[in-house]
A and B are shown apart, each in its own frame.
Chain A
Amino acid sequence: MSLRFQVLVRLKEGVLDVQGKAVENGLKDKKYGAIKNVRVGKVIELEVDGLGKEEARTQVEDVCKLLLANPVIERYEVKEVA
């Protein structure tokens, strides 16, 4: 049986998000000037095979630290999904 996880990676507060700024400026051009502070993150979905819930989550957290997020600029959240 495999467990499915969703990892949400986003830039920490205070880190300049140029992609978010580009989106914000694009919206401004389309008369959505009221929309502010756009921040773009990443959603990474993955499955873990043949491990118990706790062990699986630990491995996903490890992978977040190893590769999926850079702790200098990003934070992450791990969510188990059905």
Chain B
Amino acid sequence: MKVGVVVFPGTNCDQDIENVYGRLLKAETRRIWHRETKISDVDLVVLPGGFSYGDYLRTGALARLSPVMDGIKNFAAEGGKVIGICNGFQILCESGLLPGVLLENVGRRFLSRFVHLTVESTKSFFTAGMSKGDMLTCPIAHFQGNYFADLSTISELEANNQVILRYCSGSGKRIDSDRDVNVNGSINSIAGITNTTGNVVGLMPHPERAVEMLTGFIGSDTGLSPFKCSVGA
């Protein structure tokens, strides 16, 4: 298993991803600079978080035009596994690999805190080894994390089990209207989705920052589970 970690100007979570796959899961990793066009040597591509192109115009809008994105589109079309986290999710939405868009948080503030999540679907390779209802606790750090799409897109996502993660309370309850639970105001508390074929996933939270007891939420390393799933471990 070889993991490609894409680096745009302004990407800043690439080392955390390498830590997860390289050091903890013992996979081979390599960084993919955004000017590269050939990525056929990797089995999994991760678009890490950060502020690509300074979030100019709209988050993810300019990164989407980088040469590497054509390679990633072909890679995904052939069934290659792609994960976008935070800014990576925003880039996947802008590039049309995932539906919808991430709007500014409803509370108009940058949010940096821990959130609880439930696994809602095991349709994606990122959640395939987990069970519906499993909980993760990990940080978020974003200003544009409010997932939005038109109603028909949302009902399609729900009907096809493409919503993979939702924000929930500490006891696992979904409360869409509660700003302490669905912190950014996302429709249906959506925190992560996948495409129809389950090989492209995007999520706003940062499970890669909750993979070790020392830095996880009150001694929790639950963030590691989906990464394990993604390499079939």
Chain A interface residues (CB < 8 Å from chain B):
15-16, 18-19, 21-22, 66-68, 70, 72-73
Contact = CB atoms under 8 A, between A and B. Distances in A.
Which among A15, A19, A67 has the greatest number of chain B C-beta atoms within 10 A? A67
B149 interface: yes
B146 to A, nearest CB: 8
B57 A73 contact: no
A63 B102 CA distance: 21
Given A67-B57, A72-B148, A72-B150, A16 B106 contact: yes
A15 B104 CA distance: 11
B-side interface size class: 20 to 34
Interface in B57-106: 57-58, 61-62, 65, 93-94, 99-101, 103-106
Interface string B138-182: 000000001011100000000000000000000000000000000
Interface in B176-195: 185
Contact of A70 (B61, B104, B146): B61
Given A18-B105, A18-B108, A72 B100 contact: yes
A72 B150 CA distance: 8
Contacts, number: 36
Nearest to A42: B57
A36 B62 CA distance: 33
A74 to B, nearest CB: 8
Interface of B is mostly: loop
B104 A73 contact: no
Contacts of B99: 72
A18 B149 CA distance: 16
Contact of B57 (A19, A22, A68): A68
22 contacts: A15-B103, A16-B103, A16-B104, A16-B106, A16-B185, A18-B103, A18-B108, A19-B104, A21-B108, A66-B65, A67-B57, A67-B61, A67-B62, A68-B57, A70-B94, A70-B101, A72-B93, A72-B99, A72-B100, A72-B101, A73-B101, A73-B103
B148 A15 contact: yes
Nearest to A16: B103
